[in-house]
């Protein structure tokens, strides 16, 4: 895609969550093409690991005034967007996650309109903003309004588009632009390093990464692992942190698995562990896309997942791995054992399936959208 170089405001969560990862990776890729990318959020995005003349980070700082029982982040964010659009002469704001980014962007847009500045807003919906928060009546009017007053709205899967249209009274089209992956050359080196460190002999390595929230069903991960271990010599690496970590650690202790499960916490470069894996588990209750599964597949790691939400759009049964109903831990363990015994075939299938989400393909879709919006 050719066109003028754009000045883009990228707004998202700076954390390990998928929406923040997508916003950051997209911004870095756009900067590599020469576009100026301005990240606007409350702390340095964790995946922002590149120094570039085309990237700036604008921190949103909420003052700790005693009157504020709930610090008004959304207002400060809107003010920061106004400031950055004005000063950096941005062409477009791309906001990831409806709450509070899309609603704050609407306010910024209106303030700027008063000054004769027209800033288009692209909103990308990521999942929990629709599937969990969207069901909560206390957010619904704001999410609906923010969607309907964005210039363009994208969802990361067909499933999320359908959920959005089902839960909200949408007045504008929701366009599907899937998440993407950048294929890495260092895969073989990482695999060797990781396996040298973590496995012995023909042991298999299984990995799960997430925010360990209830929606990820990490106790299912533990139970699937326990069942696999009855037939296959293997270890499990649990990457991430969150509310269910303690329960999963307890499960490992009670089932004599402490020596074979590594809880490694949040990791900035998960690829270095993922590349060493023989299998990735994602038995989530709900998953709009499953970026973590795609990250594994791109490194040649097959995936066993639930068949919820957007996962069937990413993980292909019998090719890149296997899918079962949510909670079917026996089914997931059986598929895992089969895949571990036919790793080479599934590894190739995983890589090939992931190639549909290669970064340049998806980047062009976003750029097209930006050029149509300005």
Stretch that binds ligand GMT, among 82-90, 107-115, 120-128, 269-277 (CB under 6 A): 120-128
Is residue 150 involved in binding ligand GMT (CB under 6 A)?
no
Nearest Cα to Cα of residue 302 among 266, 356, 338:
338
Pick the closer one to ligand GMT by CB: 54 or 306.
306
Q: Which of 95, 153, 215, 248 binds ligand GMT (CB under 6 A)?
A: 215
Count CB atoms within 10 A of the CB of residue 69.
5
Pick the closer one to ligand GMT by CB: 97 or 280.
97
Stretch that binds ligand GMT, among 125-133, 144-152, 232-240, 348-356 (CB under 6 A): 125-133
Pick the closer one to ligand GMT by CB: 88 or 241.
241
Find the DSSP H helices in the chain. 18-32, 73-88, 103-114, 128-131, 140-148, 158-167, 187-198, 218-229, 245-254, 271-274, 291-298, 311-314, 329-341, 343-354, 359-373
Sheet bearing 303-306, strands edge to edge: 261-265, 234-240, 204-210, 279-282, 303-306, 321-324
Contact 8, 94 (CB under 8 A): yes
Q: Which of 18, 270, 300, 321 binds ligand GMT (CB under 6 A)?
A: 18
Q: Which of 159, 164, 179, 209 binds ligand GMT (CB under 6 A)?
A: 179
Is residue 291 involved in binding ligand GMT (CB under 6 A)?
yes
Please give the helix or strand (H or E) that residue 64 lies within, else none. none
Build a one-symbol-per-residue string for 269-288: x at contacts with ligand GMT by CB under 6 A, - elsewhere: -----------------xxx
Q: Which of 24, 41, 211, 320 binds ligand GMT (CB under 6 A)?
A: 211
Q: Which of 55, 98, 156, 296 binds ligand GMT (CB under 6 A)?
A: 156
Count CB atoms within 10 A of the CB of residue 22.
23
- Total number of residues binding ligand GMT (CB under 6 A)? 21
- CA torsion 240-294-157-342 (nearest 10°) is -120
Q: Which of 14, 134, 240, 290 binds ligand GMT (CB under 6 A)?
A: 290
Least gap, CB of 308 to ligand GMT (angstroms): 9
Please give the helix or strand (H or E) that residue 157 lies within, else none. none
Stretch that binds ligand GMT, among 67-75, 78-86, 198-206, 289-297 (CB under 6 A): 289-297
Q: How far is CA 342 from the centre of its chain?
A: 28
Count CB atoms within 10 A of the CB of residue 259.
8
**Binding site residues, ligand GMT, CB under 6 A:** 17-20, 22, 97, 126-128, 131, 156, 179, 211, 213, 215, 286-291
């Amino acid at each position: 895609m050719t066109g003028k170089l754009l000045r883009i405001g990228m707004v998202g969560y700076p954390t390990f969550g998928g929406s923040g990862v997508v916003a950051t990776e997209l911004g870095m890729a756009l900067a590599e093409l020469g576009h100026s990318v301005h990240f606007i959020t409350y702390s340095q995005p964790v995946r922002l690991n590149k120094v570039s003349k085309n990237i700036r980070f604008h921190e949103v700082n909420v003052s700790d005034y005693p009157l504020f029982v709930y610090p008004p982040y959304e207002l400060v964010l809107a003010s920061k967007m106004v400031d950055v659009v004005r000063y950096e002469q941005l062409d477009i704001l791309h906001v990831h996650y409806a709450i509070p980014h899309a609603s704050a962007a609407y306010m910024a847009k209106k303030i700027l309109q008063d000054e004769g500045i027209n800033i288009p807003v692209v909103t990308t919906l990521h999942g929990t903003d629709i599937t969990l928060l969207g069901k909560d009546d206390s957010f619904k009017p704001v999410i609906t309004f923010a969607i309907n007053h964005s210039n363009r709205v994208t969802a990361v899967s067909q499933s999320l588009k359908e959920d959005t249209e089902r839960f909200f009274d949408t007045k504008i089209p929701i366009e599907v632009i899937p998440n993407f992956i950048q294929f890495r050359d260092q895969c073989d080196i990482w695999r060797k390093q990781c396996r040298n460190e973590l496995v012995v002999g023909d042991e298999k390595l299984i990995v799960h990464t997430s925010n360990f929230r209830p929606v990820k069903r990490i106790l299912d991960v533990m139970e699937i692992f326990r069942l696999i271990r009855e037939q296959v010599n293997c270890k499990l690496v649990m990457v991430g942190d969150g509310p269910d970590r303690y329960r999963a650690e307890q499960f490992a202790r009670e089932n004599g698995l402490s020596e074979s499960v590594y809880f490694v916490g949040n990791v900035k470069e998960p690829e270095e562990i993922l590349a060493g894996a023989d299998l990735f588990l994602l038995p989530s209750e709900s998953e709009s896309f499953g970026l973590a599964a795609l990250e594994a597949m791109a490194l040649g790691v097959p995936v066993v997942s639930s068949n919820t939400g957007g996962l069937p759009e990413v993980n292909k049964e019998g090719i890149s791995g296997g899918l079962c109903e949510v909670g079917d831990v026996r089914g997931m363990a059986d598929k895992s054992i089969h895949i571990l015994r036919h790793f080479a075939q599934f590894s190739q299938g995983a890589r090939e399936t992931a190639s549909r989400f290669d970064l340049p393909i998806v980047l062009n879709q976003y750029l097209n959208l930006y050029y149509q919006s300005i």
